[in-house]
């Protein structure tokens, strides 16, 4: 471990600092909000809501919460971010906004434009450096960080629009990677600038034999696709035949466990997994220890967080926030309760509802796990199925059937005067029986969710599973123009997304003669 420690000290540790040991997470958050209010006090948003006056109050946090309303994306964009997109300066954050990240659009069919500022990029780099410093605790081979790093992300060839650029956040980050990383970073700009994801996969496979990859950063679904193409191209049994030093996967964006079984079939030896939590709006946390898969919220890196209890008192059955919903600061939250996240950031988001739900296990250390999305849960009859419940049930059923599930989605459908759940599950295993899979999945869901178990006796009359090849899901993403390293399948299909999926699936099945 000596070499690894020396490398971290001389390389990655440049500019990286651990959270102040004498300052609690609550104090870090208070300091972060004061810094945000100070920096943005002369912006249009800051002047409208009198940030300077808040800073003069005995409790700026309470003043901020009492004065600034909660915003969803439409409210933030229509009134404020759209002005920044027209290159108006000092709207929600000082200066012009040089980049806008396109959201993956999992909650609805609308493309969202999220502002990305140099300050936000600096905050994300700070957390990235801290993450790699903490990798010293993962018992990795001593020379792993002297190997190359494969970054699996979106196209870095951003689209110019007036005086700014638009593209996926991973592409924006790729363009702003630190200079010290250039020596280790793979693939090069000649590959990452290719607009089509399939073309990037092919080029990565072509060049794979030239590289000595020690660790990989990316969405596990897309890393798996790259591995499969490399194994096919070189007729390999596993990825360690071409990259023997691959030891660490830093992943995020989707829940890892449904992919674990099929992913590990592509390996020749075990690797370490590090979960991370990043979105277009920022880098929020990562797994700091190999002893637990939980992550630590970064409370001193440019984002002030608030939390709304994710329950019927605050949200309706469609995941819409009630007008009287109350948000709590970190010091007020309790363990083992699902919360929707509000954030205020150094990209000019103010009390912005992110859409994810998390659950703390240790509030003092800000240790948490992501449990789902506010609009990615199913409760048409009071069954209250979260994505967390779905992931757990799918994983256990997959293990029992050896199906190799990669993707799944579920929708609610009418059955006369009652409701049913329609599941779509991906597997290339022809021996999986849909009816047997459905019965097992139903049983697992009843084990993890009492509300679901009760409603299955009364209002929820049926659970159906349709088995589909993996490529059916990926071709749908391609049709949506979202076949890239950041896109993901929505776990719950509702509204226009549900109609779009059903129309696509009908067309696919008619074409295949099923």
Where residue 201 sits, what CATH number does that domain have? Answer: 3.40.50
Query: Which of 134-138, 239-243, 397-401: highest mean pLDDT?
Result: 239-243
Within a domain: residue 174?
yes
Q: Are residues 275 and 405 in the same domain?
A: no
Within a domain: residue 63?
no
Across 253-278, average pLDDT = 89
Helix (H, G, I), strand (E, B) or coil at 227: helix
State the pLDDT at residue 262.
83
Residues 148, 478 contacting (CB under 8 angstroms) = no
Q: Are residues 261 and 126 in the same domain?
A: yes
State the pLDDT at residue 145.
79
Quick check: 7 pLDDT over 60?
no
- The domain boundary, picked from 266, 286, 306, lies at 286
State the pLDDT at residue 255.
77
Within a domain: residue 467?
yes
| Residue 51 to residue 36: CA distance in whole angstroms | 9
- The domain boundary, picked from 254, 286, 318, lies at 286
State the pLDDT at residue 364.
93
Within a domain: residue 96?
no
Within a domain: residue 461?
yes
State the pLDDT at residue 478.
82
Q: Are residues 412 and 275 in the same domain?
A: no
> What Rg value do the Cα atoms of the chain yield, rounded?
23
| Residue 229 to residue 430: CA distance in whole angstroms | 21
Q: Are residues 154 and 273 in the same domain?
A: yes
19 vs 393, more confident: 393
Q: Are residues 266 and 394 in the same domain?
A: no
- The domain boundary, picked from 286, 306, 338, lies at 286
- Mean pLDDT score across all residues of the chain: 88
State the pLDDT at residue 8.
42
Instruction: Please provide the DSSP assignment of 286-309 as one string.
Output: E---TT-S-EEE--SSSEEEEEEE
Q: Are residues 263 and 136 in the same domain?
A: yes
**pTM: predicted TM-score of the whole model, two decimal places:** 0.79
Domain range for 252: 120-286
Q: Alpha helix (H) ranges present in 135-196? A: 169-175, 189-192
Instruction: Please provide the DSSP assignment of 475-510 as one string.
Output: HHHHHTT--SSS----SB--HHHHHHHHHHHHHHHH
Query: Which CATH number does the domain housing residue 430 bear?
Result: 3.30.300
135 vs 145, more confident: 135
Within a domain: residue 352?
no
Within a domain: residue 451?
yes
Across 270-276, average pLDDT = 95
Structural element, H or E, at residue 87: none
Within a domain: residue 86?
no
Q: Which of 414, 408, 412, 374 is nearest to 393 (CA)?
A: 408
**Segment 411-445, tens digit of pLDDT:** 999 887 678 999 999 999 999 999 999 999 999 99
Quick check: 375 pLDDT over 60?
yes
Structural element, H or E, at residue 217: strand 213-218
114-128, 431-445, 498-512: least confidently modelled range = 498-512
Residues 71, 112 contacting (CB under 8 angstroms) = no
Q: Are residues 279 and 408 in the same domain?
A: no
Q: Name the pLDDT band for 46 (thresholds 50, 70, 90).
A: very high
363 vs 181, more confident: 363
| Residue 389 to residue 433: CA distance in whole angstroms | 22
Quick check: 54 pLDDT over 90?
yes
Percent of the chain's residues with pLDDT above 70 = 92
Helix (H, G, I), strand (E, B) or coil at 67: helix
| Residue 18 to residue 32: CA distance in whole angstroms | 15
16-25, 33-42, 113-122, 372-381: least confidently modelled range = 16-25
The single-letter DSSP state of residue 54 is H
Neighbour order of strands in the sheet with 248-252: 185-186, 148-152, 213-218, 248-252, 272-279, 282-286, 295-297, 367-373, 352-362, 338-345, 303-309
Residues 29, 305 contacting (CB under 8 angstroms) = yes
State the pLDDT at residue 12.
45
107 vs 495, more confident: 495
Quick check: 455 pLDDT over 90?
no
Residue labelled with tokens 């199925």: 385
State the pLDDT at residue 142.
81
State the pLDDT at residue 19.
53
Quick check: 251 pLDDT over 70?
yes
Report the alpha-carbon angle 357-361-362, nearest 5. Answer: 120
Quick check: 77 pLDDT over 50?
yes
Query: Cα separations (Å) of 32 from 24, 25, 166, 381, 385?
Result: 12, 10, 28, 41, 35
State the pLDDT at residue 488.
76
State the pLDDT at residue 106.
41
Quick check: 325 pLDDT over 70?
yes
Tell me the helices (H) and strands (E) count for the chain, helix number first: 18, 18
Q: Name the pLDDT band for 93 (thresholds 50, 70, 90).
A: very high
Quick check: 124 pLDDT over 90?
yes
| Residue 448 to residue 125: CA distance in whole angstroms | 38
Please count the structural domains in the chain: 2
């Amino acid at each position: 471990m000596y070499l690894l420690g020396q490398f971290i000290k001389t390389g990655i540790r440049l500019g990286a600092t651990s959270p102040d040991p004498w300052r609690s997470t609550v104090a870090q958050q208070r300091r972060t909000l004061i810094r945000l209010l100070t920096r943005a006090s002369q912006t249009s948003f800051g002047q409208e809501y009198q940030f300077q006056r808040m800073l003069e109050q005995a409790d700026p946090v309470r003043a901020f919460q009492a004065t600034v309303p909660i915003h969803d994306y439409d409210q933030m964009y229509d009134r404020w971010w759209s002005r920044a997109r027209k290159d108006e300066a000092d709207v929600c954050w000082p200066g012009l906004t040089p980049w806008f990240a396109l959201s993956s659009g999992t909650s609805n069919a609308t493309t969202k434009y999220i502002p990305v500022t140099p300050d936000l990029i600096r905050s994300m780099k700070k957390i990235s450096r801290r993450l790699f410093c903490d990798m010293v605790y993962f018992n990795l081979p001593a020379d792993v960080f002297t190997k190359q790093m494969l970054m699996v992300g979106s196209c870095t060839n951003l689209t110019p629009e007036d005086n700014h650029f638009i593209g996926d956040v991973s592409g924006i980050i790729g363009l702003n990677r630190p200079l010290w990383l250039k020596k280790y970073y793979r693939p090069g700009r000649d590959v990452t600038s290719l607009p089509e994801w399939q073309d990037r996969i092919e080029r990565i496979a072509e060049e794979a034999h030239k590289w000595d990859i020690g660790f990989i950063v990316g969405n596990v679904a897309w890393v798996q696709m790259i591995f499969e193409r490399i194994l096919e191209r070189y007729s390999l049994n596993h990825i360690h035949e071409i990259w023997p030093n691959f030891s660490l996967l830093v992943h995020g964006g989707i829940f890892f466990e449904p992919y674990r079984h099929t992913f590990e079939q592509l390996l020749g030896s075990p690797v370490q997994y590090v979960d991370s939590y990043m979105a277009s709006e920022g880098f929020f946390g990562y797994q700091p220890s190999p002893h637990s898969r939980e992550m630590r919220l970064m409370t001193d890196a440019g984002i002030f967080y608030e939390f709304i209890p994710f329950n019927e008192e605050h949200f309706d059955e469609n995941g819409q926030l009630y007008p009287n919903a109350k948000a709590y600061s970190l010091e007020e939250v309790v363990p083992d309760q699902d919360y929707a996240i509000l954030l205020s950031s150094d990209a000019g988001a103010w009390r912005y509802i992110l859409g994810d739900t998390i659950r703390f296990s240790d509030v003092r250390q800000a240790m948490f796990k992501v449990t789902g999305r506010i609009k990615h849960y199913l409760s048409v009859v009071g069954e209250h199925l979260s994505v967390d419940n779905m992931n757990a049930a799918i994983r256990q059923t997959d293990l029992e059937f050896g199906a190799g599930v990669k993707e799944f989605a579920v929708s609610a459908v009418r059955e006369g005067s009652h409701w049913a759940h329609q599941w779509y599950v991906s597997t290339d295993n022809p021996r999986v029986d849909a009816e047997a899979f459905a019965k097992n999945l139903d049983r697992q869901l009843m084990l993890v969710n009492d509300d679901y178990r009760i409603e299955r006796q009364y209002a929820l009359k049926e659970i159906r599973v349709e088995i589909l090849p993996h490529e059916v899901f990926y071709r749908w993403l391609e049709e949506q123009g979202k076949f890239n390293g950041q896109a993901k399948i929505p776990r719950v299909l509702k509204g226009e997304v549900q109609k779009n999926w059903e129309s696509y699936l009908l067309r696919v099945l008619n074409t295949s003669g099923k």
